[in-house]
Amino acid sequence: MSTILIAPATFAPEPTPCPDPPVSLPTLPVVSAGQLWLVELSAGTEPPSVARHALDGANVAIYDRTLADIVALALPLGSYAEPAPVRSDASAARSVHFARDGWSVVRLMPARLAARERTRRVQDIVDELAAAKVAGSLPVTIVTTSAEGVQERIEARFDDLASIVASHPRDTLLAVVIDAFAGAGAARLHAVAANGLAG
């Protein structure tokens, strides 16, 4: 009678998946006196990191009324916020007025506006700043956040801003930092600290 030896089965170990490399988020500028931040965010969602950073550092927030709930939850104590005027050129003038007076300002705009409306709003800001003698060569920082959450930091010139904004799809969130009136001197904080959320 013959004996058949059966060798134990050997299994190759499962390959260990390589972890995804850590995502390096772009460094955001410090929010400073005389700066104007234009930040897009979606109503009814958690503010993205760029919006939280801007709100945490800004003295003044001007927002579309559709974003009021987010602002009410995210606005730090001692900051001031007011709803934007209905007309885009009026809200641009209000934002630039605060920045020119030495405040750090964040202008919050709803995400996914129609391309024409988005470009018009940014162009109104550009026109107001140009009227205030902001140089076309002024460097601006643009932080984009794709629909997949990938962020990119772009350095550009002020006079190229509107065309750069127009080149991005609607589902990309934009944040634009314009250091328009650097060195303007910080405004008196107590003038608005008690006002909180206006409107």
pTM reported for the whole predicted model: 0.79
**Nearest one of 180, 157, 146 to 40, comparing CA atoms:** 146
What distance in Å separates the CA atoms of residue 167 and residue 63, rounded to the nearest whole number? 24
Strand ranges for 11-127 from DSSP E: 36-41, 60-63, 80-83, 105-110
Distance CA 77, CA 65 (A): 20
What structural domains does the chain harbor? 36-184 (3.40.1010.10)
The share of the chain scoring above pLDDT 90, in percent, equals 61
DSSP class of residue 7 equals P
Residue with tokens 């962020």: 151
Q: Which of 93, 91, 54 is nearest to 71 (CA)?
A: 54
pLDDT tens digits for 32-80? 999 999 999 988 888 888 999 999 999 999 999 999 999 998 988 888 9
Q: Are 102 and 184 in contact (CB under 8 A)?
A: yes
